Amino acid sequence: MNLRFLVIALNFVVISCHMALAQDMLVATKVSQRASVMQRIGTTDVTVAYNSPAAKQRKIFGGIVPYDFVVDGVEYPWRAGANENTTISFTHDVTVQGKPLAKGTYGLHIFVRDGEWTYIFSKNHESWGSFSYDPKEDALRVTATPEPSEYREWLTYEFTTREAEEAVLELQWSTVKCGITIGTDVTSNVLTDLKSKEEKTPDDYIKLAQLTLSEDAKNVDAALHYAEKSIAMGEEFRNLMLKSELLAQKGMSQESKTYEQKALEVGEGFPYFYYYPLSFMLLEGNPEKTFEILSEMLHKNPNNWIANLAMGEYYIKSKKQEKATYHFGKAYEFAGERSKPYARYMYLSNALILDRM
């Protein structure tokens, strides 16, 4: 390689590195720092990405962010931050202030009035701030009421007042805050995700059946269809018991009982033989059903440590300490090595209670 060409090439690399470093330093020293906040509401991730300017003792709203900024009949909303577009993203369909908005990423703009703000969700999220804002690209507009707040030097977005399926997204800056309520439908979102999943598992079909029924209690046939799809991929306690429960809802009591028996034969392990019978007592207020299932289990196998453990819990709830202690003792006697410490604890603690009675 020509020596002169090599020197020129090396100089070009050095200059390029210095330029890149200078650009990085300029970005790092910007007054308005890049920030983001993400909150999961139900199963939906909501993310706001923005640049956060400082107040610097300036008048903000009605000052550097003017009220009613309309020139020649054209609205000029605020970019809801600084520098490039503030954006907001949703991984599922949501409601904002009770109005529907499809999943996706939006440019966020705010038209500020004294006493009322209009949040604007634009389909264009790649423009520079609000300078190229076009109302024809609006996906949604909602109004919100600003309120006085504690002083915030830096513009901040924060999720407040969080509930299971909704949260308030609040913009806070200077002595003002203004929030919008974002809501989700968890059942609908999970159903949508499961239905769109290409390769479903037996567990997916069980969830589809349960959620379908949760969304519409009358839709037993559709839920039963999903339960049968799960069973077709392999019989197990959960899908057989689910079918039993759905058949019972259709008034097919004999068929329901058949599948319940089959589920108990197939099922094995702690969750099935313990939580299933106790669920009738703890969740449905049906101790008679609990006792019936546990008695049947112990009739088939008196040494089943899980059934004895559950029967001990049943007798505690029934306030029959002597019988509870007896069954915890049987559980301790027949439990495997991994489970013996817990069964031993339950036996000894209840034996102590019995001794003190």
What does residue 75 show for φ and ψ, rounded to 5 degrees? -75, 140
Instruction: Categorize the per-residue pLDDT at 344 as very low, low, confident or very high, splitting at 50, 70 and 90.
Output: very high
pLDDT single digits (tens) 131-186: 788 999 999 999 999 999 999 999 999 999 999 999 999 999 999 999 999 999 99
Instruction: Categorize the per-residue pLDDT at 260 as very low, low, confident or very high, splitting at 50, 70 and 90.
Output: confident
- The residue length of the chain stands at 357
| Distances 44 to 122, 164, 207, 228 between C-alpha atoms, Å | 20, 11, 18, 29
Q: Are the C-beta atoms of residues 154 and 112 closer than 8 Å to each other?
A: no
344: number of Cβ within 10 Å: 16
Report the chain's C-alpha Rg in angstroms: 31
What does residue 55 show for φ and ψ, rounded to 5 degrees? -75, -40
| Candidate ranges 73-82, 104-113, 347-356; pick with highest mean pLDDT | 104-113
Cα dihedral 158, 76, 138, 50 sign: negative
In whole angstroms, what is the distance from residue 148 CA to residue 28 CA? 32
Q: Are the C-beta atoms of residues 47 and 37 closer than 8 Å to each other?
A: yes
DSSP 136: G
pLDDT at 277: 83
Helix H segments across the chain? 3-28, 186-196, 202-215, 220-232, 237-249, 253-266, 270, 276-282, 287-300, 305-317, 321-334, 340-356
What does residue 33 show for φ and ψ, rounded to 5 degrees? -85, 145
Mean per-residue pLDDT for 270-279? 77
Please state, rounded to an integer, the average pLDDT across all residues of the chain. 87
pLDDT at position 24 over 60: no
| Residues of the chain above pLDDT 70, percent | 90
pLDDT at position 17 over 70: no
Which residue do the tokens 């640049």 mark?
Answer: 51
pLDDT at position 7 over 60: no
pLDDT at 275: 79
In whole angstroms, what is the distance from residue 230 CA to residue 76 CA? 55
More confident residue, 20 or 42: 42
* 3-state SS class at 197: coil
In whole angstroms, what is the distance from residue 121 CA to residue 80 CA? 11
pLDDT at 67: 94
Mean per-residue pLDDT for 42-70? 94
Which amino acid, residue 292?
Answer: E
pLDDT at position 98 over 80: yes
In whole angstroms, what is the distance from residue 168 CA to residue 147 CA? 14
pLDDT at 143: 98
Choose the weakest-confidence range: 68-82, 87-101, 221-235, 261-275: 261-275
pLDDT at 261: 85
pLDDT at position 274 over 60: yes
Which residue do the tokens 């609990």 mark?
Answer: 290
Residues 6+ apart with CB under 8 A from 157: 35, 37, 48, 50, 169, 170, 171, 172
pLDDT at position 88 over 90: yes
pLDDT at 268: 67
What does residue 143 show for φ and ψ, rounded to 5 degrees? -105, 155
H-run or E-run covering 61: none
In whole angstroms, what is the distance from residue 328 CA to residue 311 CA? 8
pLDDT at 11: 42
Instruction: Categorize the per-residue pLDDT at 215 as very low, low, confident or very high, splitting at 50, 70 and 90.
Output: confident
pLDDT at position 357 over 90: no
pLDDT at position 206 over 80: yes
What the block records as the tokens of 57 is 């003792």
